[in-house]
């Protein structure tokens, strides 16, 4: 299968590229500002340009496109909604339209931030989206455009993505921050009033490609089976990394002033993806053991 990975310079895109290469797929990468450096054909692209997307997709003529490109800076989206919509909604539309024009399967990545965070039980895919900030609104608009413009897309909702940036292998996201603070002996303030189901980039990449290979369509939550606070997540990280004397302190989302509001509870129910692939999603502890 010839797979075009859009957003290959990002955390998830690099992992999707790496997993697809390990499966001997023919992979072409498309990056925005920096070539990730896989030993494969690579193309610079700005998905806000429909012409650029059309030209690239026509040239590559892929069997499948995995779109991992997004404006993921949640506060940045709040202060620059125009760019947020240009990338997360218009860009998603351009990729979906181009995929359809060459009859390519489409995996589009979305977020738990399309949800309001008011629930207390893990959200299933049919929960009514009600984003609370521009990032979630623009990603929800992207989901809807993808559904309109591609006949049979697969939309994966992820939560709190972390892992190793590839191909360089550095730890990225929340664990990188916790490990840096622990290494410097600093106090590590962590929220106890937010709950998420962290998506490990490598496990997520495998699941996305498994869904693609299994010809699954529709919307799936793709996350770990665990529902944790950042404090609990931090405890597992320092334990797994062997920092016995790390100082974790309890903090609240209300303690910091940020441009965008965050949902308090976005744990994801993973029953649908588990049923589709006939296997359980990994737990956070299993993912961290693999990461560290
Ligand atoms: N990060 C999270 O915690 C999280 C949580 C839930 C869902 N998600 C979703 O998961 C997917 C992957 O996110 P990630 O964690 O891998 O984020 P990431 O590391 O920020 O990667 C996003 C990539 O998109 C690229 N991009 C931004 N604007 C672009 C444009 N105009 N044209 C082409 N590419 C562009 C970025 O390139 P530059 O950096 O070069 O601009 C970056 O390489 C996204 O759909 C995101 O919404 C992420």
Residue 157 lies in a domain: yes
Q: Report whether residue 136 contacts ligand 1, using a CB cutoff of 6 Å.
A: no
Q: Mean pLDDT of all residues in the chain?
A: 97
Q: Report whether residue 74 contacts ligand 1, using a CB cutoff of 6 Å.
A: no
Whether 135 is catalytic is yes
Residue 134 lies in a domain: yes
Identify which of 7, 143, 175 to mutate to test ligand 1's pocket (most ligand atoms within 8 A of the CB): 7
* C-alpha 11 – ligand 1 centre gap (Å): 7
**Structural domain count of the chain:** 1
Reported as a single tens digit per residue, the pLDDT across 195-209 is 999 999 999 999 999
Residue 186 lies in a domain: no
Reported as a single tens digit per residue, the pLDDT across 8-60 is 999 999 999 999 999 999 999 999 999 999 988 899 999 999 999 999 999 99
Averaged pLDDT for residues 213-232: 98
- Domain containing 159 equals 2-163+199-224+268-283
Active-site annotation holder among 123, 135, 162, 231: 135
Which residue's entry shows tokens 């979906």? 96
Averaged pLDDT for residues 283-288: 98
Report the pLDDT value the prediction gives residue 163, as an integer from 0 to 100.
98
* C-alpha 246 – ligand 1 centre gap (Å): 31
Domain containing 62 — which CATH number?
3.40.50.720
Q: Which residues contact 32 (CB under 8 A, 6 or more apart)?
A: 7, 9, 44, 45, 46, 47, 69
Residue 114 lies in a domain: yes
């Amino acid at each position: 299968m010839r797979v075009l990975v859009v957003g290959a310079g990002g955390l998830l895109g690099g992992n999707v590229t790496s997993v697809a290469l390990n499966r001997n797929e023919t992979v072409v990468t498309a990056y925005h500002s920096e070539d990730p450096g896989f030993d494969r054909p690579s193309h610079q692209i700005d998905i806000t340009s429909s012409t650029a997307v059309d030209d690239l997709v026509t040239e590559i003529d892929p069997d499948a496109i995995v779109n991992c490109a997004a404006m993921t800076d949640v506060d940045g989206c709040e202060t620059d909604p125009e760019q947020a919509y240009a990338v997360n909604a218009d860009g998603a539309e351009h990729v979906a339209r181009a995929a359809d024009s060459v009859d390519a399967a489409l995996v589009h990545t979305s977020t738990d931030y399309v949800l309001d965070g008011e629930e207390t039980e893990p959200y299933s895919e049919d929960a009514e989206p009600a984003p609370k900030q521009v990032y979630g609104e623009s990603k929800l608009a992207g989901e809807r455009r993808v559904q309109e413009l591609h006949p049979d897309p697969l939309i994966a909702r992820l939560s709190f993505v972390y892992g190793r940036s590839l191909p360089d292998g550095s730890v990225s996201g929340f664990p990188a921050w916790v490990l840096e603070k622990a290494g410097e002996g600093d106090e590590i303030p962590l929220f106890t009033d937010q709950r998420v189901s962290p998506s490990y980039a490598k496990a997520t990449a495998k699941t996305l490609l498994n869904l693609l290979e299994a010809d699954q369509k529709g919307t799936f939550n793709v996350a770990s089976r665990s529902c944790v606070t950042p404090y609990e997540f931090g405890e597992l990280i320092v334990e797994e990394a062997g920092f016995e004397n790390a100082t974790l302190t309890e903090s609240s989302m209300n303690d910091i002033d940020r441009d965008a509001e965050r949902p308090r509870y976005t744990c994801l129910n993973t029953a649908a993806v588990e049923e589709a692939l006939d296997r359980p999603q990994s737990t956070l502890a299993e993912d961290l053991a693999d990461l560290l």
